[in-house]
Structure 1
Amino acid sequence: MKRFFYFGVPLLILGGLMLIPMMLALPLVLCWILYLVFRILQLLTNKDEWLRKNLLPFGVNVIALTLSFVLIFVTTSRANSTPALIASLGHISPHYPNSVHNQMSRVIKRGPEVVAPLSTTLEQVLDREYISPFRTAQIAYCLSQIGGEQAEAALQQAIEQHITFDDDFYGKWETAVCCLYAESARERAVPTLMNLLNSAEEKQANSQKLIALLALARTQDPAAVETVLDHADFLKTQLLGKNTPYRQTVQINVTLQALSEGQSPADLSASPIYEPLRLGLNPDSRTKTGIKWDDRWNGELDIEALKAHWSAILK
């Protein structure tokens, strides 16, 4: 029975470290340590022959304990390193957005120090023959949340050099990157997005114009918002188009709803356009003005009144 304490308890504790959170396992490990210390002291002070015969089990326990802590420390350190956190982006199923956001928040908390490796990783991902939409969008989200000139430059470069709008599958991450760039850079993003809008041509013209307009609305820039309102008829035409994907109809509806019902600049970038992309991005879409988002919104737009409304809010 006593030998169980030397071998059974350590195995149970090591199993517990794998199955339950570390904070719950640590008290058990502490008890194990105290027990070993007590028995070793008893061995040193007691001349009992039985204790001396159990010197080997004591040694095995001490070695196992040492190796356990070394492995725990090394594994935890590697898992929490910046390269490991960045490498994990895009590998959690987008069907679990809370888990995805928890992982991204760990990267974002590192602040500006991770912008350079994130930018390098984004460039490497976009240079591949197959571009992972999940990984690309999640890296872009981290950059947009951290912000700063270098982060904005990385997103701008991704738009100018890698976005083609010629594949509906890639259109998901392209939409996400454009909108994230708009939210991060705001008025500084307008020239790049306006260039996308005005350079649309050939078969991808409608998709390119649509994504550019969705992003422009999120810049909170007066001129950009006016441009989007000027293209309201185009957006409504896309809603009725037979070839318009469902996700884009949702994005158009909530964007138009934001323009129609919004009462603050933040309302423009709060519309839930990322959820239908199914990329694991699901930021908080609640607004202080209490807009109840409707993916089938079909209200009427008074363009001139809305121009005056947003001009007064965004001035």
Structure 2
Amino acid sequence: MNCVNSVTEVKLPFLNSLLLAFTGWLVLTLIFCRPLTKGTRRFYYFGIPFLILGVLMFVPLGMGVPIILCWIIYLPYQILQFFSTRQERIFKNLLPLSVNTLALLLSLTLIFVTTAWANTTPELIKSLGGISPFYPATVHQQITRLSQRGPEVVTPLSDTLAANFERYEQVSAYPTARMAYCLREIGGPQAEATLQDIIEHRMKFKDSSSAKWEAAICCLYAECAGERAVPVLTDLLNQAERSQNHFQKQVALIALARTRDQAAIETVLNHVPFLQEDLQADLTSRWSAAMISLTLQALAEGQASQDLIQSPVYHRLMLGLRPELKSESGIVWNQKWDGDLDPESLKTHWSAILNRKD
């Protein structure tokens, strides 16, 4: 039984367990504790319809929270009632006391155990794949919690990615891109090596179902490795030109722009006509066109090297990756940007910016 959605489950990992405990309490009180008290009967009036709706998957978000909260308050109240009972009725109330005490202890134990379990690295990694992309704040909350653990989570992330690629012919885009984003946030040689391995050995650029995570990982690798990513991405570009794979060439150029390397920027500027042609093509998807537009806008309007990686190319991918980024130059990002570029003057412009950075 799952009466909560993935976002509520991430924020309140104990809720499903408490709902099961609540169900057990309803059954036990019905069997052993009759006649039912007025409070217990009220929980039946609200609890049973709620549980039925939960099984039918009609209960949205955290509708179970108020019921569970009231129940947790009600249990100690019932236990305290026992001590105010007249002496001759104590024995009669021992069974309800036992049921309520057991339910309360079990509930408190479940809260602590499930919360601790949900905060372990394997469970945090597992949760990345279950959150809807329509809740990017929750996605980034989990990514931040993982990234803050530093290099110690790089190996579990890398192993999970490798296991997914071995286990599934078509990996899910959500966990793949989000784990790669964690690696990008943490950085370091092992994180770079993992992303590079995915690009070199796991990407085919032939299946539309993989296109979004392939584009995301290429960009994340470029941001993570910087100029060290240029040879890999240049090789990707050369392969695309040999095989005439438009999408692969497009992704390689977008990723090269995010390396903030002068030679890579010049390569991208040399291919501006190709990108502009793809931008106008009828067969270019909206998310792909948005990535091209934002990349060209960053090249045309950027005044700092950070502008190249702060263009929100991940937003339109609908993978739940929507980092809160603000351009240092005050650029107002436009996913439909289609301005004119002068590649030669932009080469001089970016050469000055990148040399100043050095």
| Range into which the TM-score falls when normalised by the shorter chain | 0.7 to 0.9
1:173 corresponds to which of 213, 218, 229: 213
- Which of these residues, 116, 136, 141, is aligned with residue 181 of structure 2? 141
User: How far apart in 1 are the matches of 2:208 and 2:325?
Assistant: 25
For 1:8 and 1:21, locate their aligned partners in 2 and report how far apart those are by CA, in whole Å.
17
Q: How does 1:37-52 map to 2 (within 5 A)?
A: 39-40=82-83, 48-52=87-91
The match for 1:115 among 147, 154, 158 is 154
Q: In the alignment, is residue 244 of structure 1 matched against residue 284 of structure 2?
A: yes
Match of 1:75 among 114, 139, 151: 114
Q: CA deviation at 1:3?
A: 7.0
1:5 Cα deviation (Å)? Answer: 8.3
* Alignment match, 1:36: 79
Contact 2:192-2:221 within 8 A present in 1 as well: yes
Q: Please say which of residues 256-265 and 237-246 is displaced more in the overlay.
A: 237-246
- Structure 2 CA distance for aligned equivalents of residues 278 and 76 of structure 1: 29
Give yes or no for the alignment of 1:206 onto 2:251: no
Partner of 1:155: 195
Deviations 1:106-132 (A, max 9, x none): 332332222111101111222321221
1:84 corresponding residue in structure 2: 123
Aligned partners of 1:18 and 1:75: how far apart in 2?
19
Aligned AA for 2:277? T
* Larger deviation, residues 254-263 vs 304-313: 304-313
Tell me the TM-score normalized by structure 1: 0.85
Shift of 1:160: 0.8
The range that moved more, 241-250 or 198-207, is 198-207
Between the aligned partners of 2:79 and 2:43, the Cα distance in structure 1 is 11
- Counterpart CA distance in 2 for 1:262 and 1:205 is 29
How far apart, in 2, do the equivalents of 1:5 and 1:60 lie? Answer: 16
Q: Distance in 2 between matches of 1:309 and 1:155?
A: 30
Cross-structure match for 2:304: 264
1:94 lines up with 2:133 in the alignment: yes
- Partners of 1:10 and 1:32 within 8 A in 2: no
Name the SS for the 1:200 alignment partner: helix
Unmatched segments (≥5 aa) in structure 2? 1-34, 51-61
Identity of aligned residues (%): 49
Change (3 A) 1:65 1:234: same
Q: Return the alpha-carbon distance in structure 2 between the equivalents of residues 33 and 112 of structure 1.
A: 44
Equivalents in 2 of 1:270, 1:36: separation in Å? 57
The letter for the 2-side match of 1:55 is: L
Q: Residues 60 and 273 of structure 1: is their aligned pair in 2 closer, same or farther, counting only changes over 3 Å?
A: same
Report how far residue 75 of structure 1 moved.
2.2
Worse-matched range after superposition: 165-174 or 92-101: 92-101
Partner Cα distance (1:223, 1:294) in 2: 26
Name the amino acid aligned to 1:66.
L
Q: Where does residue 294 of structure 1 map in the other structure?
A: 334
Aligned mates of 2:41, 2:343 — CA distance in 1: 75
The 2-side partners of 1:134 and 1:291 are apart by 29
Which of 235, 246, 263 lines up with 2:275 in the alignment?
235
Counterpart Cα distance in 1 of 2:106 and 2:87: 29
Of 151-160 and 186-195, deviating more is 186-195
User: Which of 96, 101, 119 pairs up with 1:57?
Assistant: 96
Query: 1:20: which partner in 2?
Result: 65
Displacement after TM superposition at 1:299 (Å): 1.7
Q: What is the DSSP-based 3-state SS (H/G/I as helix, E as strand, rest coil) of the residue aligned with 2:335?
A: coil
What residue in structure 1 maps to residue 261 of structure 2?
221
| Secondary structure, counterpart of 1:88 in structure 2 | helix
- Write the letter of the residue equivalent to 1:50: R
Q: 1:157 Cα shift? A: 0.6
Q: Distance in 1 between matches of 2:348 and 2:241?
A: 31
Distance 1:173 1:286, change over 3 A: same
Deviation at 1:255, TM superposition (A): 0.6
Q: 1:190-229 deviations in whole A, cap 9, x for unaligned?
A: 1211111122245553222211110011111222112211
Moved more, 89-98 or 152-161: 89-98
Counterpart of 1:20, as a letter, is: V
Q: 2:77 & 2:284 partners in 1: Cα distance?
A: 67
Provide closer, same or farther for how the CA distance between residues 32 and 245 of structure 1 changes in structure 2, counting only shifts above 3 A.
closer
In structure 1, C-alpha distance between the alignment counterparts of 2:132 and 2:244, rounded to whole Å: 29
Point out where structure 1 has 5 or more consecutive residues left out of the alignment.
Answer: none
Aligned to 1:4: 37
Q: Would you say the 8 A contact 1:6–1:57 is kept in 2? A: no
Equivalent pairs, count = 309
2:267 is matched by which residue type in structure 1?
T
Q: What RMSD over aligned residues (CA atoms) do the two structures have, in Å?
A: 3.1
Is residue 165–residue 174 contact of structure 1 (8 Å, CA) maintained in 2? yes
